[in-house]
Structure 1
Amino acid sequence: MTHTYTATVQQNRVPEVTIDFWLIKLMAVTMGETAADYLAVNLGLGLTVTSLLMTAVLIVALVFQFAQKRYVPPFYWAAVVLISIVGTLVSDNLVDNLGVALQTTAIAFTIALAVTFAVWFAVERTLSIHSIFTTRREAFYWLAILFTFALGTAVGDLVAEVFALGYLTTGILFGGIIAAIAIAYYVFKLDAILAFWLAYILTRPLGASFGDLLSQPQEYGGLGFGTIITSLLFLAVIVCLVIYMTIVQRPAAQEPMEAELGESQET
């Protein structure tokens, strides 16, 4: 008797971590900051209405993303942009509408993210983004992404506003920290999963700082380009990068998983 095995290939549902990944992620978080400000302030929708509207749009985007069962750049990056906006709004609502201090908000989201990672690891025994093959793993992934954006927003605002370092200095500070993480990973062999998630969290305040620097009026320490021009600029870059990824890049990493489908007998 012999066993017949068939290799079942499951596709990763998130992209490989490349320079393109970090570039478009930085653009997405920058646009998340300026777009949230544009909708809530410039259009006069207010935080509550903007939050409800963008949360509804995000849910629709995630439904399409989960339905793909593989990495499809337009669906994935649309979800990232929208979850960046919603993450910003969640933090802003706590601070501006509910009066929660930025320090408290940052601590709360740190705890929420830590709990998410703990439960994710307890259930799946890995936090690797290279094996997001199932709906449950993808759900953990997007929940963690939401909390990284909310945490990054709170930390960025805390440093720029409460500590009064300003947008440019804050951006340079977080850029330096991310560079240090990269050096620790490439030179000192920092754990890849830890390095990825630390960098992912910190790109949020990095992008938000430069987004505010470009969009905010000069009297508030910005360059005065406004949220419309800044948002459209970064949206154009995102669209171009997504088109490039869709046409040029290889499919996301795949990992064969052997599954026993049946038995056959030889006589």
Structure 2
Amino acid sequence: MLALLLAIPFLAVAGCGDVPVDGVAAAPAPPPVATTSSTAVPGTSAGSATPPTSASRPAPPSTPAPPSTTPVRNCRSPEFTTTDPDGGWSDGGYYVHNNMWNAGEAGPETLRACAYDNWYVESVQPDSSSVKTYPNVHKDINNQNGKPFNDYSVIKTTFAGRGPGVGVYDVAYDLWLNGVGDGKGVSELMVWTENLKQVPSGDKLTTYTAGGSTYDVWADTDGYVAFVSRSAQYSGSLDLKAMIAWSIGKGLIPPNPTVNQIGYGIEFCSTGGGKARFTLTDFSVTMS
């Protein structure tokens, strides 16, 4: 799918397979499992819901991972450590958030951060078909009020992150438009840069190509859009303004929405029965 605002866990929407980096060896992936999910809204105001599964739609095939281009950077002396399901840390104008929004089903998770763009999380999640956590770093724009999309000439981002290669998960951007979380008129746009046996909410509609990468575009009827990269991207940059504009042009997002939050992290469904690590070594958002 924020201190009062920064402490609000935000939603990460996706479906999981039937099974949700340093030092974690990749295991051979089992055959894709078909699932889907509906929007679940975490937080104290709306609670959370377990995404249902469905066997009616096949999961996208796994893509062999290319050689890693993730910058070599280690967080050896963390400035911040938390096991709190809602634990978070403000640094450099960003917020690093453990965000175990489905804590009722989640296993233990520890986040350690040296900086907003240099942190890792170790997670142990059971083999059940729901998103459990979305540890992430995000930028909140204008105290949640946002600014109209048309007022921006640039919305770009850089990233570097790698999932564990085991279990069920997606590494993804999560953008909130016209508000954050559950609410009338709110839109959620995700960009999945790495995917292991996950399936987004809704239906696959078309494809989008930019920067040498091709994405399958999924959407549902509740304001959710997901760009799912056909190959793993462990680092790079994205033109988010172009992706939002394209979605508006296709009628998937209302015209000229406010831009409220931009985040990047990992949705854990399963960790394959053991401890799994996600490592982030770069993140930035440029808006003007």
Does TM, normalized by the shorter one, top 0.5? Answer: no
User: When the two structures are superposed, what TM-score results if normalisation uses the length of structure 2?
Assistant: 0.27
Q: Larger radius of gyration, structure 1 or 2?
A: 1
**Relative CO higher for 1 or 2, CA cutoff 8 Å, sep ≥ 6?**
1
Which protein has the bigger helix share? Answer: 1
